[in-house]
Homo-oligomer: A and B are copies of this chain.
Amino acid sequence: MAQRIMKSWEMKGRNLVWAGNPADRKISGIRCELPFGKAMVCGDARHCEDRGPDSEVISGGAPSCDVWLIRSGILRLQRHASNGRRQILSLFFPGEIVGFEGEFREGATVETAMQSSLCSIDRRWFEKMMDQDHSLRTEFSRQKQDQIDRLYWLTWSLGALGPDERISAFLALSTAFMPYQLLPDGTGVLSVCLEIKDIADLLGTTVETISRVVRKLADSGVIEIRDSAHFRLLNLPSLTAFGKIDGIFDRMTIGVSRRRRQLENLAAIGSENTVCFCGR
Contacts and interface: CB of A to CB of B under 8 A. Distances in A.
Given A107-B247, A151-B152, A86 B160 contact: yes
A208 to B, nearest CB: 16
Interface in A149-189: 149, 151-152, 154-156, 158-161
A131 to B, nearest CB: 7
A55 interface: no
Nearest to A88: B159
A81 B155 CA distance: 13
Identical copies of this chain, number: 2
Decide if the interface of chain A is mainly helix, strand, loop or mixed. mixed
Contacts of A201: 159
Interface string A227-262: 000000000000000001001100100000000000
A113 to B, nearest CB: 16
B145 A89 contact: no
B148 A103 contact: yes
Nearest to A205: B159
A141 interface: yes
A83 B164 CA distance: 14
Contacts of A101: 141, 145
Interface in A183-239: 201, 203-204
Interface residues of A, number: 38
Interface of A: 79, 81-83, 85-87, 89-90, 101, 103, 105-108, 131, 134, 141, 144-145, 148-149, 151-152, 154-156, 158-161, 201, 203-204, 244, 247-248, 251
22 contacts: A81-B156, A81-B160, A86-B160, A87-B155, A87-B159, A87-B160, A89-B152, A89-B156, A90-B152, A101-B141, A101-B145, A105-B149, A106-B248, A106-B251, A151-B152, A151-B155, A155-B155, A158-B159, A159-B201, A159-B203, A159-B204, A160-B204
Given A79-B160, A85-B160, 18 more contacts: A79-B152, A81-B161, A81-B244, A82-B244, A89-B152, A101-B145, A103-B148, A105-B149, A105-B152, A105-B247, A106-B251, A131-B134, A144-B144, A148-B148, A155-B155, A155-B158, A158-B204, A159-B204
